[in-house]
Amino acid sequence: MADIININKAPYDFGRSIFLPFQTGPGSAAFVFKSAAVYGVLITVLLFLFGKMVMGSFVEFMQYAIEMEDAPGDASEMEVVMKMFAMMGKMALPMLLISIGGWAIWAMVEAAFLRRAMRGEDDGFLPWRFGKDELRVLFCRLIVGLAGFATLILVHFVLGVLLFGVFAGGSGSGVMGVIVGIVTFLGVLAAFALFIFIVIRLSPASALSIAEDRFALGDTWPVAKGRFWPMFGSYALITVVGYIIANVIQTVLIIAFTGSFLAMIPEFEKMGGMPPEEAVTTIMEILTQPSILTGLAVAMFLYYVFQAIWYLHFAGVAAHATNLYNTDRAENSVDVFS
């Protein structure tokens, strides 16, 4: 069937691939903005819930770090170091929960979008849930991410072996230095290129799984065949434009917060004679004032709303390619059996 599919291919619509989230039927724009708002609220709540645990442990970590400077001997210093490691462990757990929670929240948004784009389903006012579709998206993203990471590790391992051979078999001449530089540069390019190739070829995994109502990662490879470069162009444009907008938003938010911090300068000046431990606690009390937390929550919400819209455009590229692949299969099957 793979050879048959190569006979006729539906044309790749560059514009549709980029703006597909807004082209999935009536109410597309409302769906995108509602999904972005839900994502922004849930991520902000998640960060505030577990971020408080991280900050509490961080304060203790800094206090132990200050205490280590005054430790009378090696034994006392080692005891403080162990306490610092314990605080790092306490910070790691909420950070892990934040990562898993954010991963699951995005799966809810992406699965809802893919049901619209791949199945034409309209789940009503609240299309976000957590079920088998979301689990498929989670596992697809996990495996694709691991595949990309493993590719980078493998290429860098091979590069390391090559460089070791160059150093072991050569001298310290200038020519050898040039060779090492060229090999390193080409190795980094090869790692990046192979990473991009594998990730793009596997990127339709979630869309195909939702379209076929099964975990279809094993059948994903042919989806991007013959459409790799158009997909690469779509992803590249979305990445560059999104990166620019993200930096503009971050800059605006930083400028907005700069005014708030300037107003706190008198409070910071009062801390000049405080012991370091007390100063750390006072700084945290200042930074956790309701006005600061409210502003931070609004800023985080706005940024994650944008991030959700940005990420939906990435998902739209994979969904468009999958729709074209399904069209290819349907049309060529009719040609064969008619």
- How confident is the model over 275-291, as pLDDT tens digits? 656 666 666 666 667 77
CB 137, CB 107: distance < 8 Å: yes
Inform me whether the pLDDT recorded for 336 exceeds 50.
no
**Amino acid (1-letter code) at residue 302:** L
Helices (H), 170-224: 174-202, 205-212
- How confident is the model over 105-132, as pLDDT tens digits? 999 999 999 999 998 888 777 889 999 9
Inform me whether the pLDDT recorded for 331 exceeds 80.
no
Angle, vertex CA 37, rays to CA 33 and CA 42, nearest 5: 150
Q: Choose the weakest-confidence range: 3-7, 106-110, 208-212, 269-273.
A: 3-7
| Domain ranges within the chain, ordered by starting residue | 2-6+13-337
Q: What is the spatial distance between Cα 237 and Cα 254, in angstroms, rounded to a whole number?
A: 26
Closest CA to 205 of 288, 141, 152: 141
* Residues in CB range of 121: below 8 A, 6 or more apart: 115
* Residues in CB range of 20: below 8 A, 6 or more apart: 117, 313, 316, 317, 319, 320
* CA distance readout (Å), 61 to 64, 67, 282: 5, 10, 15
| pLDDT tier for residue 50 given thresholds of 50, 70 and 90 | confident
The stretch 309-336 carries a mean pLDDT of: 83
- How confident is the model over 83-92, as pLDDT tens digits? 666 766 667 7
pLDDT at residue number 123? 76
CB 179, CB 248: distance < 8 Å: no
3-class SS at 106? helix
pTM of the model: 0.79
